[in-house]
């Protein structure tokens, strides 16, 4: 399979995170693209590519959720929790400042950008049009004639080749994993570059098309992996104007942005200034929002959402809050077992510990009943297998792995244990102890011990007070069956460093939902990812069945076969009991200054912060 990118002789992109992490998780990125399954015709020039069928927009149309007549100017301040120590978002080392790269893409852009109003459709960003051959053997991407970096230098094929090579060699594991499937990269002339692909991964052309493009002339390859606070050069609509290490980063609109007249950007990037201010903990961040120092907030604490939004600016109308629909999968949030630890090697042990979580009590007592229980790795969407018996297609996919899925999960009858909500459910404790006995553990003098009389003790890492509160409740439940769970709260930098090296027993983590799961599933669950530092396979899952189901969803050529593969993958993951399923919020909770506006017409995936603008009259 070959991909060709063609550039003209003369000579992208969304979302905010951390304190706005939920919004970022809704949007997804190039790394959670889905299977490309469409009639590609004769390879004629196209302005976009769709997941299934044709793109929803015609050539030259703006995004339907963008407010094209909104005023430009003003300033929006977003809040972020933690710190940052680098302006390089493409490598493992350091914590990058928010907003630099796609999906928000204020500074760096990719060849194509993704619409938030379709499950997976991309339109030309740096690219003007694309040609993809019927047999997927080649794709030609024509760049906009005026596409250039912020220093005025036009983008060339050498920049594309350089970006690919650099990210493949020194980028994050996701880049390395995906780009390793490219067998050849050949610059045919200053205008054309060709990529050769291995296998039948129909998503790979999209991943290459969504590759961020870096300036060869202004990027030090030998020092690329080092942390740096030097303002980078990109092709996006903003420049880095000011950096206060670990405290704030300010972006100013680039008056010479090459794409400002391109229809796909109309109605986006209105503010003159976008700033991210950092706060050490969630309480401080919330107080800053209450005090007017932060303009927009995505709330992730149901207790705060239910109780604490009664401050003066809410009452006087200067701040407003709203609940916004989320149409995509809610993903999976759970207490994650690190199965590299022999303590969690037995699936019966993992299931037993999951039996002790009293979601009913937790949701009522801690979260005002605002959450729903996660019962799938794709909860809240048609991608979930919950409650559905396996189809003939799923059974065919799973036939070579007869022990990979439990009978009750195959039949769609399994649900996370439902306790009585008292916090002291005896039946749950009895079931947990029975499973633990089968796994070689016995309760003796109030302590759970193995045959060597070693106690059952482990540590759960958390990085904020809300996680700590939930973890302490779980520790109390486990203490009832003789298990010692130590909850350890550590700072943001140490936390992510330990996760990157898989240096933990258990964590609370969320694998975000996507309307179209794809190659990112390798990064989350693939056997090779389990051994690769920095991957999201925190559970250490190594299963031939998982690998096979991911391959099946990537090879699917119809919506039906794609959904079949996802359901089968969901069942294999559920049967592995890699996490104690927790919960998800059915909607997005957002609060903002009344002067910050967004279009009334919301996209399929929720809110789109790149469409926000400032109404100075308010």
If asked whether residues 575 and 593 sit together in one domain, one would say no
pTM of the model: 0.78
Number of domains in the chain: 2
Question: Which residues 6+ apart lie within 8 Å of 611 measured at CB?
Answer: 65, 66, 67, 70, 267, 268, 270, 598, 599
HSE of 366 in the Cβ direction (CA atoms, 13 Å)? 22
If asked whether residues 346 and 258 sit together in one domain, one would say no
Tell me, what CATH number does 199's domain have?
3.40.190.10
**Helix and strand element counts for the chain (H, E):** 17, 26
Nearest residue to 297 (alpha-carbon basis) of 273, 270, 322: 322
If asked whether residues 567 and 592 sit together in one domain, one would say no
Domain enclosing residue 130, as ranges: 2-268+588-614
HSE of 351 in the Cβ direction (CA atoms, 13 Å)? 19
If asked whether residues 434 and 549 sit together in one domain, one would say yes
Q: For 236-245, how does the pLDDT look when each residue is reduced to its tens digit (9 = 90+)?
A: 999 999 999 9
pLDDT at 49: 81
If asked whether residues 549 and 600 sit together in one domain, one would say no
If asked whether residues 515 and 605 sit together in one domain, one would say no
417 located within any domain: yes
Q: Which DSSP string corresponds to 82-147?
A: S---BS-TTSSSS-BPTTSSTTT-SS--BSEEE-TTSSSEEEESSEEEEEE-TTSS-EEEEEPTT-
Tokens encoding 194 = 């060709």
At 29 the three-state DSSP class reads coil
- Compute CA distances 540 → 106, 331, 535, whole Å: 34, 18, 10
If asked whether residues 541 and 601 sit together in one domain, one would say no
309 located within any domain: no
Tokens encoding 140 = 């030609």
Tell me, what CATH number does 500's domain have?
3.10.105.10
If asked whether residues 529 and 597 sit together in one domain, one would say no
pLDDT at 617: 65
If asked whether residues 365 and 502 sit together in one domain, one would say yes
Q: For 540-554, how does the pLDDT look when each residue is reduced to its tens digit (9 = 90+)?
A: 999 999 999 999 998
603 located within any domain: yes
318 located within any domain: no
pLDDT at 613: 97
Residues of the chain with pLDDT under 50: 1-42
Rounded CA gap, 519 and 522, in Å?
Answer: 6
If asked whether residues 161 and 113 sit together in one domain, one would say yes
If asked whether residues 594 and 550 sit together in one domain, one would say no
pLDDT at 19: 36
281 located within any domain: no
Dihedral of the alpha carbons of 509, 412, 606, 29, in degrees to the nearest 10: 60
pLDDT at 52: 67
Orientation of helix 559-576 relative to helix 544-555, angle to 10°: 160
pLDDT at 616: 78
Tokens encoding 485 = 């769970």
- Compute CA distances 76 → 232, 271, 289, 402, 439, whole Å: 21, 7, 12, 54, 55
At 217 the three-state DSSP class reads helix
Rounded CA gap, 371 and 377, in Å?
Answer: 16
The DSSP call for residue 263 is G
If asked whether residues 245 and 370 sit together in one domain, one would say no
Rounded CA gap, 286 and 589, in Å?
Answer: 14
282 located within any domain: no
């Amino acid at each position: 399979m070959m991909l060709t990118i063609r550039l003209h002789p003369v000579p992208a992109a969304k979302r905010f995170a951390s304190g706005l992490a939920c919004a970022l998780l809704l949007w997804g990125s190039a790394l959670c693209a889905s299977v490309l399954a469409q009639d590609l015709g004769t390879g004629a020039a196209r302005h976009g590519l769709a997941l299934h069928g044709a793109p929803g927009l015609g050539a030259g149309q703006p995004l339907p959720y963008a407010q094209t007549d909104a005023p430009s100017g003003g300033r929006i301040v977003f809040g972020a929790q933690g710190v940052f120590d680098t302006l390089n978002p493409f490598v493992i080392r350091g914590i990058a400042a928010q907003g630099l790269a796609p999906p928000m893409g204020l500074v760096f852009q990719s060849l194509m950008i993704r619409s938030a109003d379709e499950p997976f459709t991309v339109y030309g960003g740096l690219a003007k049009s694309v040609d993809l051959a019927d047999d997927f053997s080649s794709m030609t991407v024509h760049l906009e004639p005026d596409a250039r970096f912020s220093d005025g230098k036009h983008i060339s094929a050498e920049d594309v080749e350089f970006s690919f090579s650099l990210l493949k060699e020194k980028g994050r594991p996701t880049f390395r994993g995906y780009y390793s499937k490219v067998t050849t990269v050949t610059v045919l002339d200053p205008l054309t570059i060709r990529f050769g692909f291995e296998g039948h991964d129909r998503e790979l052309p999209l991943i290459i098309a969504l590759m961020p493009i870096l300036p060869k002339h202004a990027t030090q390859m030998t020092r690329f992996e080092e942390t740096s606070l030097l303002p980078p050069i990109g092709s996006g609509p903003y420049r880095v104007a000011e950096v206060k290490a670990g405290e704030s980063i300010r972006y100013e609109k680039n008056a010479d942005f090459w794409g400002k007249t391109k229809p796909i950007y109309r109605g986006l990037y209105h503010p003159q200034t976008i700033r991210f201010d950092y706060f050490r903990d969630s309480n401080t961040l919330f107080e800053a929002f209450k005090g007017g120092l932060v303009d927009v907030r995505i709330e992730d604490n149901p207790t705060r959402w239910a109780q604490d939004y009664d401050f003066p600016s809410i009452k006087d109308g200067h701040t407003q809050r709203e609940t916004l629909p989320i149409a995509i999968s809610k993903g999976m949030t759970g207490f994650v077992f690190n199965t590299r630890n022999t303590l969690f090697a037995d699936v019966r042990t993992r299931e037993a510990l999951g039996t002790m979580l009293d979601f009913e009590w937790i949701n009522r007592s801690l979260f005002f009943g605002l959450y729903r229980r996660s019962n799938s790795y794709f909860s809240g969407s048609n991608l979930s297998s919950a409650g559905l018996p396996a189809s003939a297609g799923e059974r065919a996919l799973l036939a070579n792995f007869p022990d990979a899925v439990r009978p009750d999960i195959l039949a769609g009858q399994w649900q996370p244990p439902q306790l009585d909500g008292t916090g002291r459910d005896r039946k749950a404790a009895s079931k947990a102890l029975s499973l633990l006995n089968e796994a070689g553990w016995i309760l003796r003098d109030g302590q759970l011990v193995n045959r060597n009389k070693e106690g059952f003790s482990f540590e759960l890492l958390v990085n904020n007070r809300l996680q700590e509160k939930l973890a302490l409740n779980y520790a109390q439940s486990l203490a009832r069956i003789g298990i010692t769970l130590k909850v350890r709260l550590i700072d943001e930098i140490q936390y992510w460093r330990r996760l990157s090296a898989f240096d933990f027993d258990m964590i609370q983590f969320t694998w975000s939902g996507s309307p179209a799961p794809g190659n990112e599933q390798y990064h989350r669950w693939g056997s090779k990812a389990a051994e690769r530092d920095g991957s999201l396979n925190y559970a250490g899952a190594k299963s031939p069945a998982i690998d096979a189901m991911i391959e099946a969803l990537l090879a699917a050529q119809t919506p039906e076969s794609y959904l079949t593969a996802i359901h089968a993958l969901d069942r294999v993951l559920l049967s592995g009991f890699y996490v104690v399923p927790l919960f998800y919020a059915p909607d997005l909770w957002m609060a903002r200054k009344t002067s910050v506006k967004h279009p009334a017409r919301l996209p399929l995936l929720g809110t789109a912060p790149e469409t926000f603008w400032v109404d100075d009259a308010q």
